[in-house]
Structure 1
């Protein structure tokens, strides 16, 4: 499931393939961008912001690269992915799933099933609602704590998923963080050690930012990487109580949560 660590790793791969390179061919396979052509322009940067990914492209006049500069903004949602291939290599996913193709002389980046794909001439304004990015080098831990503590009545499971409070956590990390803190996702923020929870969130995402397989247990075997997420009915790795699955549907969160009723209170 794409979360902040997945997007960070994706940005790293795209940066290696595209940054500083001239686009020799572009194709946008969504109706509102179908006539867009960025070929001939240089990719200035590739960066992630929480679960969002930005590819910054210079303007058409290299003497004034800021004039007409745009950012390709994408969000993977549930099914999306970016792949990088050598030019001419067959894609690993079917062509009808491709939403954008960006080609340089030696590499081709393809965005498949992207939940969001748009061009923006002011990406900072478009993403200004996001809280501190857990994987940013200038990560603002105190601001994230402040934003969460301003919502004392929210369940901590809801606060962790609120990208306006801190950016990068998805459903997998939400369940895992609450387990590792011994906290039920339904517990109110006012009853949670918010600074410790935020610190753990940063450590988990940072540790996984370059891994090919996410792990919160420290184990890399496919069956041993997670404590609770996706393990409904299986025994807790700590106390042997069966893992349960539920929802925070009453507060507008329809995504499932996993927890251990023995370890989490």
Structure 2
């Protein structure tokens, strides 16, 4: 976004991306947080630090039989689906572009966005930040979440109506939010996100950092070799795909 213009497509220039390589650590981060949230790990850990004692243990759903809701079945969402197959969880998803056939191949049930928030024990956001997705997730969605449910955002903060989310998190201390991204980023100095006891902030670390960037570089070197050899590009980006990508 912001680099590829219509002139690229008009001149038939091939575009490729290292998004698949960058997706790897995002999927790893997401999976770790989904499983930890299903154990109510953050809630227990933060309560112990705050109370300086072991509080009463809350009911822990764990992974077995729980429902994970994924918003978007793009590159990252699909890989999260594949990883979740290793665990005894039910996966539901909202993606207006996914077909029933694609969902069936992933072992996922497609549902409306409202239903996803109502049913999921953990909701993980993977949608791209587009004009159409700004403030897609509203306070009403958070208000409808199950008791002790969690919300994970590794996508973009602008997709969430953060003011509305904050209001519901203040009203419902049973909910947990794990936010690797915010809008603005970082949050303003007096943002309640810094102090809410049911919010965990990480500084946009889910994607490739430091040594992880070498994977992206390796992919691009391999792509160049494929291009020079006249072979199909693994990360090829089409104009249609670029229009609905972050």
Shorter-chain TM range is under 0.3
So what's the TM-score if we normalise by structure 2? 0.25
Larger RCO (CA within 8 A; separation ≥ 6): 2
So what's the TM-score if we normalise by structure 1? 0.24
Is the strand fraction higher in 1 or 2? 1
